[in-house]
Amino acid sequence: MKAFGRPLIVLAAGLLIAATPVTAPVDELRGFTTESAKAERDWEAKFRALPSTDSLRSYMRRLSARPHHVGSPYDQNNAEWILGKFKSFGLDAHIETFDVLFPTPLERVVELVAPARFVAKLREPAVPGDPTSAQQSEQLPTYNAYSIDGDVTAPLVYVNYGVPDDYDRLERMGVSVKGAIVIARYFGSWRGIKPKVAAGHGAIGCLIYSDPKDDGYTQGDTYPEGPWRPRDGVQRGSVMEMEVYPGDPLTPGIGATKDARRLPIAQARTLTKIPVLPISYGDAQPLLAAIGGQHAPPEWRGGLGITYHVGPGPARVHLKVKFDWSLKTLRDVIARIPGGTAPDEWVVRGNHHDAWVNGAEDPISGQAPLLEEARAMGELVKQGWKPRRTIIYAAWDGEEPALLGSTEWVEAHADELAGKAVAYLNTDSNGRGYLGMGGSHSLQRFINDVARDIEDPETRLSVWKRAQLRALREASSADRRREIRAEPDLRIGALGSGSDYTPFLQHVGIPSLNIGYGGEDAGGIYHSIYDDFAWYTKFDDTSFVYGRALAQTVGTAVLRLADADVLPYEFTGAAATVGRYVKEVEKLLQEEQDTTAERNRELDEGLFAATADPRERSVAPPHQDPPPHLDFAPLENAVDALTRAADRYEKAFNRAQSGGTAFAQPSAGGINATLIATERALTIADGLPRRGWFRHAIYAPGFYTGYGVKTLPGVREAIEQRNWKEADGQIAAAAGAINAEAEVLERAATQMEQLVH
């Protein structure tokens, strides 16, 4: 990797005081000529002086003043208010609507019917001193969206986090969930995985509760004394099978416009198979206390003052849920700043505006900075700034249920986006602490460069330096620390799912980033009525300085992407990252081979029979066929091709950059058209097995982890599921995509070389 062509001087943090525009440092900016870099630095400094903490506070107070879930009056009211704001900033804005399936509860019952009787409250009480917590008539009841209707009574089984490993463990204990209702605790996986895996094992109902050990008094003082989840607090949330496809269940792959062709509800693949309801630990305690049978394994025990058993029974539970399945209207608010030189290249920036209830943290702590960015951009336009590319600001509706607003918008505009979008920049909840960066690795260098120019409000270091020092603190080995100190850029995380970047990145193949601050304020109000203005201004970014830092960070990124003469993608880091992923899947197969061999040997030795306590029930694991060897050569060769192309492109890029003026030539525009196709080349037309909506060959949410990312997903999951034939096919598919990207990049390198000669 070359440091040539990048800024070598880390600016002293003192030069970056936000309140006074600093003189542009003599410094290169990736993708800019010397002259355009100077102008860019000036505009960026002006931009960063504009976001105000007072505005952020007043936006949050206004947007979180009442519950504003999809279809509620205040959701519409907020969308119209955001539209008015965009217009008042001078942006060209409109509301785009879609009609989607969004179920809301009509009936909810959870009761213990044996050995004693107990009826769950299923209700979060208002707390004194928190005015919006008392808006009971407008609050959505506690529930999991996209659970099917159901009315079941059955013995209860405790399944820990309810992930596949937990069921293996139960099997070893001789416990089946067939015909049972399971109770799983939150965490350990995305929530939608829990009912899916439970149904796969034959359960007929699923309760999900927040255990105080993960999310309550074991962690700290509970609300309102402290920030943690109180006894009756409940985590709402979607349980849709979004790892199959997100968005409206009735219109997969197309925008849910008025006249869109809709599936009948019975054919929607993403609803749960069994009824599901979330409950508080106040409601869970009597249920868990009534479960008998074997003791729960030590690491399954939570923070309640009871002995945890797994069952089944003697606790019997009645679970009943019934929903209103009518369509609801989404309102995405879309604003535009037209580009001057390249209006058909788009930089898209978004954050959702809908919440489960009042949602001060999720999502308004991210939405308010987005509005401040838009205001500051409008201000620059008034001062004479004209971006090279078109900038689109989007406030999405319906993120909470299923990334509805972003997915339907992307599906409705997929062809146009595939031709025009150069990047999507996402934020969601924001808080006090360290900069978090995830996304496409072709943007790793770019976002690192931006982070070097932003001042951390608490330490006055650059947010990049602070994130680097934190990475050192968290590093697990001396080797890793050495890498962190030596590498020019911090590695950014790969994106799975859990916010609105998913349709952009994983359906269309648009380079995407997800950015946010956090890590210093923990709490337990997520998706409850207590996520509100009173909580946020008492326990999180109380002075809104990290809201301002977020607006400065993402706004700088938007400005720079919109103005660069040549798109600042960088591929040597991306190629190295993909190379690491290939090594990981090779190692994964090796581990499968080793553990299978070891387990089979132990079975032959009679280890399980000899070491099991005869007074406890236990079942030995099954004998498994040893995994075959797989041929990873196509992937290795593809990574080599990508590495060569990336090196060649980077060399040509650096020569052009160091000339100072090469990017000003009209033919530089043609390079951008080629560069736009690079990430798109990483998509597979047929998508991933059994979920063709997900097309990216490198990044996807896990089929059994939900939000958690699986890199090289087709290959990795086939190995994890021991599907060797599919693994072979997926190695070929991923190698094809990586080779396709290498080819596009070779074309860009040729164009870049011609620019210099």
User: In a 3-state reduction of DSSP, which class is residue 493?
Assistant: strand
Closer Cβ to Zn ion, 362 or 540, answer by number: 362
Q: Helix (H) and strand (E) counts for the chain? A: 23, 18
Which is nearer to Zn ion, 360 or 380 (by Cβ)?
360
- Please enumerate, as own/partner, the contacts of 225-230 that have beta carbons within 8 Å and a separation of 24 or more: 226/539, 227/521, 227/522, 227/523, 227/524, 227/525, 227/535, 227/538, 227/539, 227/540, 228/522, 228/523, 228/524, 229/280, 229/281, 229/524, 229/525, 229/528, 229/530, 230/127, 230/530
3-state secondary structure 659-720: HCCHHHCCCHHHHHHHHHHHHHCCECCCCECCECCCCECCEEECCCCCCCEEECHHHHHHHH
Could you tell me if 115 and 314 are in contact, meaning their C-beta atoms sit under 8 angstroms apart? yes
**Comparison of 444 and 528: residue with beta carbon closer to Zn ion:** 528
> Crossing angle, helix 545-563 and helix 444-451, to 10 degrees?
130
Nearer to Zn ion, 400 or 570 (CB): 400
Measured distance between the N- and C-terminal CA atoms of the chain, rounded to whole angstroms: 23
Q: Applying CB under 5 A, does 679 fall inside the site for Zn ion? A: no
The interface mask with Zn ion, positions 197-236, x = CB under 5 A, is ----------------------------------------
Question: How many positions of this chain bind Zn ion (CB under 5 A)?
Answer: 3
Rounded to the nearest whole angstrom, what is the least distance from the CB of residue 498 to Zn ion in the complex? Answer: 8
Q: Is the peptide bond before 297 cis (omega within 30 degrees of 0)?
A: no
Cα distances (angstroms) measured from residue 551 to each of 389, 495, 559, 594: 20, 21, 12, 49
Mark the segment that binds Zn ion (CB under 5 A) among 14-22, 307-315, 425-433, 607-615: 425-433
Q: Is 361 in the site for Zn ion (CB under 5 A)?
A: no
CB of 739 to Zn ion, least distance (A): 36
Min dist CB 351 to Zn ion, Å, is 8
- Binding segment toward Zn ion, per CB under 5 A, in 102-110, 355-363, 511-519, 737-745: 355-363
DSSP-derived letter for residue 138 is G
Query: What residues are paired with 209 via a beta bridge?
Result: 185, 279
State how far Cα 57 lies from the chain centre: 25
Please say which residue, 351 or 444, places its beta carbon nearer to Zn ion.
Answer: 351
Q: How far is the CB of 354 from Zn ion (least distance, A)?
A: 9
Residues 456-495 that bind Zn ion (CB under 5 A): none
Classify residue 462 by its DSSP letter. Answer: B
Question: β-strands 144-145, 237-238: how paired?
Answer: parallel
* CB 432 to Zn ion: min, Å: 17
Of 33-41, 152-160, 422-430, 700-708: span binding Zn ion (CB under 5 A): 422-430
The residue (of 99 and 361) whose beta carbon lies closer to Zn ion is: 361
Judged by beta carbon, residue 362 or residue 449, the one nearer Zn ion is 362
Q: Is 363 in the site for Zn ion (CB under 5 A)?
A: yes
3-state percent breakdown (helix, strand, coil) of the chain, nearest 5: 40, 15, 40
Instruction: Using alpha carbons, list the distances in angstroms from residue 37 to 228, 495, 559.
Output: 47, 30, 12
Closest alpha carbon to 235 in 149, 351, 122, 132: 122
Token readout for 543 is: 């002075």
Contact window for Zn ion (CB under 5 A) among 18-26, 420-428, 575-583, 592-600: 420-428
Residue 248 DSSP SS3: coil
Closest CA to 156 of 367, 309, 339, 345: 309
Q: Which is nearer to Zn ion, 285 or 430 (CB)?
A: 430
User: Residue 485 corresponds to which tokens in the numbers above?
Assistant: 């100190």
> Measured from the CB of residue 501, what is the shortest distance to Zn ion in angstroms?
12
For the bound state, the minimum distance from the C-beta of residue 456 to Zn ion, rounded and expressed in Å, comes to 24
Residue range at the interface with Zn ion (CB under 5 A); choices 22-30, 127-135, 361-369, 484-492: 361-369
What is the closest distance, in whole angstroms, from the C-beta atom of residue 370 to Zn ion in the complex?
12
Contact 133, 532 (CB under 8 A): yes
Choose the stretch contacting Zn ion; rule: CB under 5 A; options: 29-37, 66-74, 426-434, 512-520: 426-434
- Cα distance between residue 517 and residue 59, in whole Å: 19
Q: How far is CA 550 from CA 358, 434, 492, 533, 541, in A?
A: 21, 11, 17, 19, 12
Nearer to Zn ion, 160 or 497 (CB): 497
Rounded to the nearest whole angstrom, what is the least distance from the CB of residue 246 to Zn ion in the complex?
Answer: 13
Closest approach of Cβ 237 to Zn ion, in Å?
Answer: 11
CB closer to Zn ion, 397 vs 428 = 428
CA gap 431, 542 in Å, rounded:
9
Cβ at position 359, least distance to Zn ion in Å: 8
Shortest CB 399 distance to Zn ion, Å: 6
- Residue 204 has a CB neighbour count (10 Å cut-off) of 20
Least distance from Zn ion to the Cβ atom of residue 429, Å: 6
Tell me whether residue 362 or residue 397 sits nearer to Zn ion (CB atom): 362
CB of 236 to Zn ion, least distance (A): 12
Give whichever of 408 and 428 is closer to Zn ion, judged by the CB atom: 428
Residue span binding Zn ion (CB under 5 A) among the ranges 87-95, 424-432, 452-460, 581-589: 424-432
x/- contact string, 533-572, with Zn ion (CB under 5 A)? ----------------------------------------
Q: Which of 44, 354, 373, 428 binds Zn ion (CB under 5 A)?
A: 428
Q: 3-state secondary structure string, 108-137?
A: EEEEEEECCCEECCCCCCCCCCCHHHHCHH
| CB-nearer residue toward Zn ion: 293 or 547 | 547
- Segment interacting with Zn ion (CB under 5 A) among 105-113, 362-370, 580-588, 597-605: 362-370
Strands 709-711 and 699-701: antiparallel
Member of 130, 362, 500, 679 binding Zn ion (CB under 5 A): 362
Residues that bind Zn ion (CB under 5 A): 362-363, 428
